[in-house]
């Protein structure tokens, strides 16, 4: 064997792998420098290999920072609202978990009504093992109902190492940790079509009056300025929250989020009136008010960056994850598609964040696998995978910014981490789901009605207060 291998190496055609019969043969080959260490050239199997995402150099394996148990034969069911590009990218994360543990993961989309979906599954005796919730209010509701399993020691260890106090507290209820914020979002951004801005001769606005002026100038250039995905009510809550936080300030924002301040408060009237300066002018909205109400979120983004010299809109207020939708067009983030902070309505520009929190359902059938997945999602290994794919932002402070696919996202991610615990979480996501997180009712429906008739500020306030009081039990 030794003579044969030596002859093959001398001839420049060594074997990729070989089975040796003698330990001495291994020692001899090591001394000759003919062997590669295990794991250097391989892809890495379950439990030990790399493949957690690419490093800065193409083909270089990123370090493995978390150990996971062997789970061969286990099957874990995961649910989230993600579809399209987001579902595909999350699938890459789950694929790596499968590779390392030997477990099989079944992904089940929940639809927008996560609370209703989980409730029906629990009632039917077959809840998923892990759910990624979009609302803090839903996590609190589920914890109060006894539906959630507390985080295991390994998941808590990853959280302590990789997350700031603010994010850890958002995943807790009553002092007990239940959730891992895997995916975060900066919701205080406006994406714009650079060619349209250049043709209209406008620059990035920094204040609300400058924003409205830029919109009017773009409109005069022949392009409808602002794309609004009003068919998805949550996009309208983002518009309101940015205006309200900047105008009314963080103290009132916190009080309104807890319904310690009523929606009939003058500060709400002021914010709706300000938002009406945009929504009340149909020429500033792509498709007008009626068109905006029929446009879903993905379309609101893609129509801004499709159509070459004649896109349907110039800009769209959206979180960082819009990059995934932009990637479905021919536009390039950082060149054709750029971003600026949501304009300051008051003294300071707003910083509103959102996020998806992974929790284990107590009645899930695969608790060990569920806890292992939460541990993985709290690690830099999992975050690195989606960061490289794009359309993703992580609250994991240990993640190397170089993991992000482009400079625009890298800049947004650095700003999120630099904010520490000073951010304000999405207000509607903090509310009970019946008010802040269900299609066709509560805040989503009330703001859709406002988009339909922006003149009805008083009526909108009354409906918001009625629905909030009911949901909060006041």
For residue 252, how far is the Cα from the chain centroid?
Answer: 26
DSSP string over 427-447 = HHHHS-HHHHS-TTSHHHHHH
User: According to the model, what pLDDT value does residue 85 have?
Assistant: 84
Is the four-CA dihedral 341, 347, 351, 352 of positive or negative sign?
A: negative
Split at pLDDT 50, 70, 90, the class of 118 is very high
Query: Which parts of 304-343 are beta strand (E)?
Result: 315-317, 337-341
Task: For residues 196 and 385, give the distance between their C-alpha atoms in angstroms, rounded to a whole number.
Answer: 33
Q: Cα separation of 272 and 264, whole Å?
A: 11
Q: Is 329 exposed, middle or buried (0-12, 13-18, 19+ CB in 10 A)?
A: middle
**What is the reported pLDDT for 309?**
87
Torsion of CA 279, 282, 288, 292, to 10 degrees: 0
Specify the DSSP element, H or E, that contains 131: strand 130-133
Residues 364/370, Cβ–Cβ less than 8 Å: yes
Overall average pLDDT of the 425-437 stretch: 91
Beta bridge pairs of residue 292: none
Strand partners, 352: 424
DSSP category for residue 358: E
Q: What is the C-alpha to C-alpha distance for residues 199 and 342, in angstroms, rounded to an integer?
A: 22
DSSP string, 84-115: HHHHHHHHHHHHHHHHHH--EEEEEE--S-HH
Residue 413 has pLDDT above 50, yes or no: yes
Structure tokens at 356: 């998806």
Give the residue among 273, 256, 257, 254 at the shortest CA–CA distance from 265: 256
* pLDDT digits 0-9 by tens, 58-106: 445 678 999 999 999 999 999 999 988 889 999 999 999 999 999 999 9
Q: In the 8-state DSSP scheme, what is residue 401?
A: G
Q: What's the pLDDT tens digit per position in 338-384?
A: 999 999 999 988 989 999 999 999 988 899 999 999 999 999 999 99
CA atoms of 300 and 297, how far apart (whole Å): 5
How far apart are alpha carbons 257 and 429 in whole angstroms?
9
Q: Tokens 């520009």 appear where?
A: 349
pLDDT at 22 (0 to 100): 41
Q: What is the pLDDT of residue 10?
A: 40
Measured from the Cβ of residue 163, the count of other Cβ atoms closer than 10 Å reads 21
Q: Which of 300, 240, 289 is nearest to 443 (CA)?
A: 240
Tokens of 264: 């009939």
The per-residue pLDDT of the chain, averaged, comes to 88
d(CA 151, CA 147): 13
- The pTM assigned to this predicted structure is 0.73
For residue 422, pLDDT beyond 80: no
Query: Backbone phi, then psi, for 439, in 5-degree steps?
Result: -60, 140
Question: Any idea what DSSP says for residue 207?
Answer: B
Please name the helix (run of DSSP H) or strand (run of DSSP E) that holds residue 239, with its range, or none.
Answer: helix 233-248
């Amino acid at each position: 064997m030794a003579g044969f291998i030596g002859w093959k190496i001398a001839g420049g055609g060594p074997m990729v792998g070989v089975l040796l019969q003698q330990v001495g043969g291994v020692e001899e080959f090591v001394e000759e420098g003919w062997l590669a260490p295990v794991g250097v050239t391989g892809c890495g199997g379950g439990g030990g290999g790399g493949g957690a995402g690419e490093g800065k150099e193409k083909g270089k394996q990123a370090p493995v920072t978390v150990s996971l148990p062997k789970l061969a034969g286990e099957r874990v069911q995961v649910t989230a609202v993600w579809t399209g590009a987001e579902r595909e990218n999350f699938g890459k994360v789950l694929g790596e978990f499968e590779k390392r543990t030997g477990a099989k993961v079944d992904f089940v989309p929940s639809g927008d009504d996560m609370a209703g979906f989980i409730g029906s599954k629990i009632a039917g005796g077959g809840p998923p093992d892990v759910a990624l919730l979009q609302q803090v209010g839903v996590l609190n509701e589920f914890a109060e109902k006894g539906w959630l399993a507390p985080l295991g020691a390994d998941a808590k260890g990853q959280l302590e190492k990789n997350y700031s106090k603010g994010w850890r507290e958002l995943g807790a209820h009553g002092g007990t940790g239940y959730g891992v914020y895997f995916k975060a979002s900066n919701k205080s951004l406006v994406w714009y079509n650079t060619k349209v801005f250049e043709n209209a001769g406008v620059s990035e606005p920094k204040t609300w009056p400058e924003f409205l002026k830029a919109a009017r100038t773009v409109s005069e250039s022949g392009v409808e300025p602002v794309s609004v995905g009003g068919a998805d009510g949550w996009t309208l809550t983002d518009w309101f929250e940015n205006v309200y936080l900047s105008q009314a300030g963080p103290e009132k924002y916190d009080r309104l989020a807890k319904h310690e301040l009523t929606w009939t408060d003058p500060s709400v009237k002021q914010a709706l009136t300000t938002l009406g300066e945009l929504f009340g002018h149909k020429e500033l909205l792509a498709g007008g008010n009626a068109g905006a109400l029929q446009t879903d979120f993905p379309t609101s983004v893609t129509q801004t960056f499709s159509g070459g010299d004649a896109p349907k809109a110039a800009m769209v207020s959206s979180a960082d994850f819009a990059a995934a939708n932009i990637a479905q067009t021919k536009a390039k983030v950082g060149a054709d598609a750029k971003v600026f902070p949501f304009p300051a309505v008051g003294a300071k520009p707003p910083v509103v964040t959102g996020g998806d929190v992974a929790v284990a359902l107590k009645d899930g059938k695969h608790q060990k696998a569920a806890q292992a997945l939460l541990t993985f999602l709290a690690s830099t290994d999992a975050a690195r995978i989606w960061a490289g794919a794009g359309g993703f932002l992580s609250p994991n402070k240990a993640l190397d910014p170089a993991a992000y696919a482009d400079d625009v996202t890298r800049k947004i991610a650095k700003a999120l981490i630099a904010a520490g615990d000073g951010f304000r979480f999405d207000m509607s996501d903090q509310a009970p789901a019946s008010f802040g997180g269900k299609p066709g009712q509560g805040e989503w429906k009330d703001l859709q009605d406002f988009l339909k008739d922006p003149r009805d500020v008083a009526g909108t306030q009354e409906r918001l207060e009625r629905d909030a009081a009911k949901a909060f039990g006041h």
